[in-house]
């Protein structure tokens, strides 16, 4: 019964995914128009994203490094929810970590939480505490883009495989949830790092999500009317 309800919830979230996607592209256009793509900061961030993407297609994938980050993410989120992690195992073919408790966020965290980007940001904040302004800002932004690209590409590849984490909560629900959280993190980043405000972001999301559900509702009634006319 729980799996069936999660399936229904996942299907109900699909229009929201479409609305959030449209809001995401709106936010990108606004952020680019106000701050510009040609700034050193923007180019550094995008350069990091592009650098890992090129390495992804040109070189062998650092699978063991991804698996390590995957299992440490489970452990980190387990600690946040009061679980005790132990026996972390990592290999090129997979990994595991024992936790005394689990939940939705602990289970799916590796697919929406960019572990190595988090490490870069923490190190940057510690550096900023001792050296102001933060030295070599373009390098930090490059590393953020590089590790974020690492997270996105490995997540896409992993979700294409049979993952026990995803299967536990149902593929449709897990995929929609992971998508929404990943896009949400990027939107928050844009609101923090560009002139795009949270008020702007909230307005975009509300408009696009309402539009998506309104469109689905309209299509549903058009289909009902068409069926009624052709059956009766």
Give CA–CA dist 212/83, Å, rounded: 38
- The band of 231, judged by pLDDT with boundaries at 50, 70 and 90, is confident
19-31, pLDDT tens digit by residue? Answer: 999 999 888 888 7
193-227, pLDDT tens digit by residue? Answer: 777 788 989 999 999 999 999 999 988 888 888 88
Q: Identify whether the C-beta of residue 219 lies closer than 8 Å to the C-beta of residue 208.
A: no
Residue of higher predicted confidence among 143 and 163? 143
The helix (run of H) or strand (run of E) holding residue 91 is strand 85-91
Question: Which of 32-47 are b and which e, b meaning 16 or more Cβ less than 10 Å from the residue's Cβ?
Answer: eeebeeeeebbbbbee
Does pTM top 0.75 for this prediction? yes
Q: Identify whether the C-beta of residue 116 lies closer than 8 Å to the C-beta of residue 109.
A: no
123-162, pLDDT tens digit by residue? Answer: 999 998 888 888 888 898 899 999 999 999 999 999 988 7
Interhelix angle 115-130/137-159, rounded to 10 degrees, is 160
End-to-end CA distance of the chain: 35
Instruction: Give the three-state DSSP class for 24.
Output: helix
Q: Which of 50, 96, 52, 48 is nearest to 75 (CA)?
A: 96
Interhelix angle 63-80/137-159, rounded to 10 degrees, is 90
- The band of 34, judged by pLDDT with boundaries at 50, 70 and 90, is low
């Amino acid at each position: 019964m729980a799996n069936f309800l999660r399936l229904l919830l996942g299907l109900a979230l699909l229009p929201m995914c479409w609305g959030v996607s449209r809001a995401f592209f709106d936010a990108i256009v606004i952020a680019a128009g106000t701050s510009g793509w040609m700034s050193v900061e923007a180019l550094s961030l995008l350069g990091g994203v592009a650098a890992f993407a090129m390495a992804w297609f040109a070189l062998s994938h650092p699978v063991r490094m991804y698996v390590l980050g995957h299992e440490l993410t489970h452990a980190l989120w387990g600690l946040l929810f009061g679980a005790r992690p132990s026996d972390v195992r990592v290999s090129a073919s997979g990994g595991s970590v024992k936790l005394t408790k689990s939940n939705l966020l602990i289970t799916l965290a590796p697919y929406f939480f960019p572990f190595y980007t988090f490490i870069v940001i923490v190190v940057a904040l510690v550096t900023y505490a001792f050296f102001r302004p933060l030295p070599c800002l373009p390098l930090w932004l490059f590393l953020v883009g590089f590790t974020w690209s690492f997270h996105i590409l490995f997540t896409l590849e992993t979700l294409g495989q049979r993952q026990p984490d995803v299967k536990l909560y149902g593929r449709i629900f897990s995929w929609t949830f992971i998508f929404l959280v990943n896009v949400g993190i990027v939107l928050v980043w844009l609101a923090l790092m560009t002139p795009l405000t949270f008020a702007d972001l909230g307005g975009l999301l509300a408009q696009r999500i309402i539009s998506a559900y309104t469109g689905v509702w309209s299509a549903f009634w058009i289909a009902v009317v068409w069926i009624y006319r052709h059956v009766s």
